[in-house]
């Protein structure tokens, strides 16, 4: 594409002709830097994005620094326990305010010329103010921090928007809210992010990370080796703590499904062959006493991956994960993974959860590393403009419009349901949301 | 404490040998350097300046409570079925600053630094680590009972497996 991005070209990039049996995207949406810049402006800076989990700002004055598009943003816990979020940039000459990613400070003091801001964003001190700005009538409040336009928490997951004109958070999440509920309601004391994290760079487009996290179709090829490694481990019986992992899910022989949840959100699930090996199974009795039977079944027996448009993925499988993606350029993104777990979980279950996480989910693990390699190959291939289309037609003929029985049982209402996680119809919703936001009038 | 020069030499030899076997892809001989109950640990960073300290309650990049963990990795590499491990990245380890830190009846501890240059599909890159080793001495010589690798790089590009560390 020449010059700057043209909205009028968008219809041609998302070839949405489901009636004719076609849904495909032009691979330039992964490679074109002008499109990328437009995504930052029209998607990340004009709608809800995920910021952090409430356990990452546990006490008054705790902060967590992240980004919305090109804007550094800091989420701060206020004196009354509420949350605020500001552009994390000094009003004077623009230095970043927080020295660290996460911390605690009663005031944020800029380390360049020493201006200070209270945790509610007021500019409370300007170094040598009188000498520089005179004695009378100087109004420091003109230098207060810029709050972001919208901040909302859904059951502990915190989202923000740089613009006012967004739907209420419940409406934005829509059917995806039930998938968050299924994670949160496992723990009466709530969830917490476990200390430690890993950030890795993918040499690929950020949308490919979203796609990969809810692509069940690659599992029986890319993760075949994970399954065979685990089988080999179990045969060796040399690892007491780790030997009980899930093999069956990974070879494509279990019931599964996929949902286009609407608003760009997507999800997949697959039946656990051995649910009793999951850390949460220790709480079976509590779950049965406190939750509807259909929820208990979904929680205990279905491994679930949820991708929330545009930048976060929540996984509840043998281990549990928040995966956050930060777009850097068309062909680069930073991904940070956190383990999220029930507060007050027993030591044995917590340790098992961590070991399963490390086994699978990290770039130093035995599955995510293979995902990354496949993703980076897909990126390399996407530059071939004479092989233009990425195809998402699998399952198009068999999909159910609206909810299937499983969705009805727990009460969420997807745009479409698919009876196999190998089907690709869930991506329709992602790319329709993408197209709609990219072509919205200003 | 005076540490026996022969022991120092033996420790240095073993650390150099360990990384040499990785670079030369002598996987079985590499595994043999570790005791059955050897712990292999790569902590994650809990903030900009500190790694996690308790693998039981915190997230690690790798934490194997016995030798089975590295046996899994070698199985996966040798299967030729891992997307990230075919083709296998080439590596060269440069180990330095080997110091024997302590000796008692059962255990010898040592530290070292390591630079690993690797080359793969996406080109070359260099990462650095602090090594903490523990060894057990018996009649047959030294066995590794702990290899802790503090990878100082974050924002990792590309896969990280045992031969990158
Ligand atoms: S840039 Fe912050 S005080 Fe000058
Ligand atoms: Fe995968």
- What is the DSSP annotation of A399-427? PEES--HHHHHHT---SEEES-TT--THH
Domain ranges of chain A: 50-153, 173-439
In our burial notation (b when 16+ CB lie closer than 10 A, e otherwise), range A81-109 reads eebbbbbbbbbeeeeebbeebbbebeebb
Burial class (CB in 10 A: 0-12, 13-18, 19+), A170: exposed
Q: Which of A193, A195, A224 is the best residue to mutate to test the B interface, defined by the most B CB atoms within 10 Å of its own CB?
A: A195
- Residue A1 has what pLDDT? 43
**CA-CA distance, A366 to A271, in Å (whole number)?**
21
Write out chain A's pLDDT in tens, 442 residues. 444 667 667 878 999 999 999 999 999 999 999 999 999 999 999 999 999 999 999 999 999 999 999 999 999 999 999 999 999 999 999 999 999 999 999 999 999 999 999 999 999 999 999 999 987 878 999 999 999 999 999 999 999 999 999 999 999 999 999 999 999 999 999 999 999 999 999 999 999 999 999 999 999 999 999 999 999 999 886 445 444 555 545 555 799 999 999 999 999 999 998 888 888 888 999 999 999 999 999 999 999 999 999 999 999 998 999 999 999 999 999 999 999 999 999 999 999 999 999 999 999 999 999 999 999 999 999 999 999 999 999 999 999 999 999 999 999 999 999 999 999 999 999 999 999 999 988 7
- Residues of B in Cβ contact (< 8 Å) with A247: none
Residue among B91, B41, B37 at smallest CA distance from B67? B37
pLDDT of residue A250: 58
Give A50-153's CATH code, choosing from 2.102.10.10, 3.40.50.12780, 2.60.40.730, 3.30.300.30.
Answer: 2.102.10.10
Note whether B63 contacts A: Cβ–Cβ < 8 A.
Answer: yes
Q: Mutate which of B84, B153, B160 to test chain A, going by most A C-beta atoms within 10 A? A: B84
Give the model confidence (pLDDT) of B72-101 as tens digits.
Answer: 999 999 999 999 999 999 999 999 999 999
Can you tell me the distance from the alpha carbon of A65 to that of A75, in angstroms, rounded to the nearest whole number? 6
Residue with the smallest CA separation from ligand 1 atom 1 is A93
* B162 alpha-carbon distance from chain centroid: 7
B122 in reach of chain A (CB within 8 A): yes
Whether the CB of A115 sits within 6 Å of ligand 1: yes
Distances (CA, A) of B87 to A369, A370, B52, B118: 13, 12, 32, 13
pLDDT at A4: 60
What is the percent of chain B where pLDDT is above 70? 99
- Tell me what ipTM this predicted complex has: 0.97
Domain locations in chain B as residue ranges: 5-164
**Nearest-atom index, ligand 1, CA of A91:** 2
Give the residue whose CA is nearest to atom 4 of ligand 1. A113
Smallest Cβ–Cβ distance between B58 and the set A195, A362, A377 belongs to: A195
Does A372 contact chain B (CB < 8 Å)?
Answer: yes
Fold of A173-439: Naphthalene 1,2-dioxygenase Alpha Subunit; Chain A, domain 1 (3.90.380)
- Fill in the DSSP letter of residue A195: S
What is the DSSP-derived secondary structure letter of residue B128? E
Q: What is the Cα–Cα distance from A203 to B126, expressed in whole angstroms?
A: 17
Dist. CA A21–CA A420, nearest whole Å = 18
Q: What is the pLDDT of residue A251?
A: 56
For Cα atoms A152, A154, A158, give the angle at the middle one, nearest 5 degrees: 55
Q: How far apart are CA A53 and CA A341, in angstroms?
A: 12
Q: Which of A87, A98, A113 to mutate to test ligand 1, by most ligand atoms within 8 A of the CB atom?
A: A113
B5-164 — its CATH code?
Answer: 3.10.450.50
Give the HSE-up count for residue A123: Cα atoms under 13 Å, Cβ half-sphere: 20
| Alpha carbons B82 and A106: distance in angstroms, whole number | 49
- Cβ-count burial A302-316 (b if 16+ within 10 Å, e if not): bbbbbbbbbbbbbbb
Among A273-277, A375-379, B119-123, B143-147, whose mean pLDDT is lowest?
Answer: A273-277
Which chain A residues are within 8 Å of B63, Cβ to Cβ? 354-355, 358
- How does strand A265-271 pair with strand A302-308? antiparallel
Please tell me which residue of chain B has the smallest CA distance to A99: B48
> What pLDDT, in 10s, does the model give residues B57-78?
999 999 999 999 999 999 999 9
| pLDDT over 80 (residue B127) | yes
Give the distance from CA A366 to its chain's centroid.
21
Edge-to-edge strand ranges of the sheet holding A389-391: A14-17, A22-26, A389-391
Specify the ligand 1 atom closest to the Cα of A90. 2
pLDDT of residue A306: 98
**Shortest CA distance to A318 belongs to which of A369, A270, A255, A257?**
A270
């Amino acid at each position: 594409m020449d010059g700057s991005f043209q909205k009028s070209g968008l219809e041609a990039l998302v070839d949405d002709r489901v009636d004719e049996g076609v849904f495909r995207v032009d691979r330039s949406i992964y490679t074109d830097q002008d499109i990328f810049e437009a995504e930052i402006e029209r998607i990340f800076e004009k709608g809800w994005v995920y910021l952090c989990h409430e356990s990452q700002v546990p006490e008054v004055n705790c902060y967590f620094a992240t980004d919305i598009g090109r804007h550094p943003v800091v989420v701060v816990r206020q004196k009354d326990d509420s949350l605020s979020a500001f552009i994390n940039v000094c009003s004077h000459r623009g230095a970043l305010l927080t020295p660290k990613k996460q911390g605690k400070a009663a005031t944020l003091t800029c380390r360049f010329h020493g201006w200070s801001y209270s945790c509610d964003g007021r500019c409370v001190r300007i170094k040598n103010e009188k000498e520089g700005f005179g004695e009378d009538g100087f109004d420091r409040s003109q230098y207060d921090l810029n709050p972001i336009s919208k901040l909302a928490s859904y059951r502990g997951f915190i989202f923000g928007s740089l613009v006012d004109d967004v739907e209420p958070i419940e409406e934005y999440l829509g059917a995806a809210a039930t998938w968050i509920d299924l994670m949160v309601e496992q723990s009466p004391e709530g969830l917490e992010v476990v200390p430690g994290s890993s950030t890795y760079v993918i040499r690929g487009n950020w949308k490919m990370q979203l796609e990969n996290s809810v692509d069940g179709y690659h599992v029986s090829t890319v993760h075949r080796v994970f399954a065979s490694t685990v089988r080999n481990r179990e045969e060796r019986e040399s690892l007491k703590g780790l030997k009980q992992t899930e093999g069956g899910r990974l070879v494509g022989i279990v019931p599964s499904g996929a949902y286009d949840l609407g608003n760009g959100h997507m999800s997949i699930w697959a039946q656990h062959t051995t649910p009793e090996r999951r850390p949460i199974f220790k709480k079976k009795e509590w779950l049965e006493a406190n939750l509807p039977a259909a929820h208990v079944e979904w929680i205990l027996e279905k491994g679930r991956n949820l991708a929330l448009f545009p930048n976060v993925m929540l996984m509840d499988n043998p281990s549990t994960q928040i995966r956050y993606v930060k777009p850097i350029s068309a062909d680069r993104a930073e991904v940070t993974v956190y383990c999220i777990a029930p507060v007050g979980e027993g030591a044995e279950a917590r340790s098992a959860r961590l070991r399963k996480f490390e086994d699978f989910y990290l770039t130093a693990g035995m599955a995510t590393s293979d995902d990354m390699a496949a993703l980076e190959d897909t990126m390399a291939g996407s530059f071939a403009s004479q092989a233009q289309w990425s195809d998402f037609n699998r399952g198009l003929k068999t999909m159910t419009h609206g909810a299937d029985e499983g969705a009805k049982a727990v009460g969420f209402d997807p745009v479409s349901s698919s009876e196999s996680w190998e089907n690709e119809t869930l991506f329709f919703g992602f790319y329709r949301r993408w197209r709609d936001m990219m072509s919205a009038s200003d | 404490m005076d540490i026996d020069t022969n022991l120092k030499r033996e420790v240095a030899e073993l650390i150099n040998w360990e990384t040499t076997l990785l670079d030369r892809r002598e996987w079985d001989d590499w595994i043999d350097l570790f005791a059955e109950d050897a712990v292999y640990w790569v902590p994650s960073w809990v903030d900009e300046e500190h790694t996690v300290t308790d693998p039981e309650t915190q997230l690690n990049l790798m934490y194997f409570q016995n030798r089975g963990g590295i046996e899994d990795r070698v199985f996966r590499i040798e299967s030729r079925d891992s997307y990230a491990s075919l083709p296998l990245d080439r590596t060269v380890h440069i180990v330095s600053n080997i110091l024997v830190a302590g000796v008692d009846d059962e255990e010898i501890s040592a530290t070292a630094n390591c630079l690993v240059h690797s080359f793969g599909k996406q080109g070359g890159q260099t990462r650095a680590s602090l090594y903490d080793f523990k060894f057990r001495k018996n009649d047959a010589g030294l066995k590794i009972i702990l290899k802790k690798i503090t990878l100082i790089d974050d924002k990792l590009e590309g896969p990280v497996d045992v031969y990158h560390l």
